[in-house]
């Protein structure tokens, strides 16, 4: 059964951009097959449709804009069957105590460094 990441995870990591074509970090190509006035180059959409017909697991059609999240500098397309977003969120949840401890220690060190700086007025 396919997992789904939480709405919180999606909102925090949302890339705030959608488009006609996105390549998920897993390698799948997602594209808007509805041809909603995108500036496709001549024959580009037709090639994608042919590829999707041949390998629908690797070339995934969407009926509208393709959105994604950005995690670790990589695009993860919403609802991609790779479940990468879900695995990333699960990592955060399983390691929440360690992550919080690290962030608190890191913040303390940054505050100590900042306190030592002499900022001229």
For the chain (121 residues), the mean pLDDT of every run of 10, in chain order, is 82 93 97 85 94 97 94 94 94 97 97 88 63
Indicate the number of domains in the chain: 1
| DSSP state letters, the chain | ------HHHHHHHEEEEEESEEE-TTS-EEEETT--S--PPTTHHHHHHHHHHH-TTTEEEESS-EEEEEETTEEEETT-TT-HHHHHHHHHHHTHHHHHHHHHHHHHHHHHHHHH-----
Distance CA 36, CA 56 (A): 21
Q: Does the residue 121 lie in any domain?
A: no
pLDDT of residue 97: 97
Q: Does the residue 35 lie in any domain?
A: yes
Q: Does the residue 41 lie in any domain?
A: yes
Q: What's the whole-model pTM score? A: 0.82
Distance CA 85, CA 12 (A): 12
pLDDT of residue 105: 97
Is residue 76 within 8 A of residue 47, CB to CB? The reply is no
pLDDT of residue 4: 86
Q: Does the residue 1 lie in any domain?
A: no
Q: Does the residue 112 lie in any domain?
A: yes
Q: Does the residue 21 lie in any domain?
A: yes
pLDDT of residue 83: 93
Q: Does the residue 2 lie in any domain?
A: no
Domain coverage including residue 107: 7-116
Distance CA 23, CA 66 (A): 10
Is residue 21 within 8 A of residue 31, CB to CB? The reply is yes
């Amino acid at each position: 059964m396919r997992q789904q990441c939480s709405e919180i995870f999606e909102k925090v990591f949302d890339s705030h951009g959608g488009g006609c074509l996105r390549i998920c970090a897993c390698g799948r190509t997602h594209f808007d097959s509805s041809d909603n006035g995108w500036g496709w180059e001549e024959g580009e959409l037709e090639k994608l449709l042919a590829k999707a017909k041949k390998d629908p697991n690797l070339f995934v059609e969407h009926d509208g804009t393709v959105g994604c999240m950005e995690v670790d500098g990589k695009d993860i397309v919403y609802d991609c069957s790779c479940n990468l977003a879900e695995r990333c969120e699960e990592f955060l949840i399983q390691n929440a105590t360690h992550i919080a401890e690290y962030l608190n220690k890191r913040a303390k060190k940054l505050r100590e460094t900042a306190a030592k700086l002499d900022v001229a007025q």
